[in-house]
Amino acid sequence: MKQQQSPYKCHLFVCGKSRGGERKSCGDGENPALKDALKNEISNRGWKGIVRVSDSGCLGVCEAGPNIMVYPQQIWFSGASLADLPEILHTLEKILAE
């Protein structure tokens, strides 16, 4: 094993866990579209290589979802939707400006 430092300034983990309609979960609704929109915006803004968007399994708070974690900044967005994309991107802009 080789330990390394992450090449990313920040890493977004987008929970995609779906419970198949049995109860509320992050994978319900527009979650896949939100993840795709984040990836597209990050690419369009030239942030690819310094900001990473990844799928995540269950984060343990499905009832508050969809959830997005931003690390290593320890920022957590709950109840995220496409309408929140501008605020999420603004947060990333501030992180990248540091």
pLDDT in tens, 13-60: 999 888 877 888 888 777 788 999 999 999 999 999 999 999 998 888
pLDDT score recorded for residue 73: 97
User: Which domain covers residue 91, as residue numbers?
Assistant: 10-97
Tell whether 48 is covered by a domain: yes
Helix (H), strand (E) at residue 69: strand 67-71
> In the structure, what pLDDT confidence band is assigned to residue 67 with cuts at 50, 70 and 90?
very high
Tell whether 72 is covered by a domain: yes
Tell whether 59 is covered by a domain: yes
CATH no. for residue 46?
3.40.30.10
Tell whether 4 is covered by a domain: no
Tell whether 53 is covered by a domain: yes
Q: What is the mean pLDDT of the chain?
A: 92
Judged on CB neighbours under 10 Å (0-12, 13-18, 19+), 10 is: buried
Comparing 2 with 27, which gets the higher pLDDT? 2
pLDDT score recorded for residue 57: 87
Tell whether 3 is covered by a domain: no
Tell whether 49 is covered by a domain: yes
Comparing 17 with 71, which gets the higher pLDDT? 71
Tell whether 34 is covered by a domain: yes
In percent, the amount of the chain with pLDDT more than 70 equals 100
The answer to whether residues 92 and 77 touch, using CB atoms and an 8 Å cutoff, is: no
Please tell me the total count of domains within the chain: 1
Taking CA atoms, 79 is separated from 39, 40, 63, 92, 94, in Å, by 18, 20, 9, 18, 21
36 closest CA partner among 44, 23, 97: 44
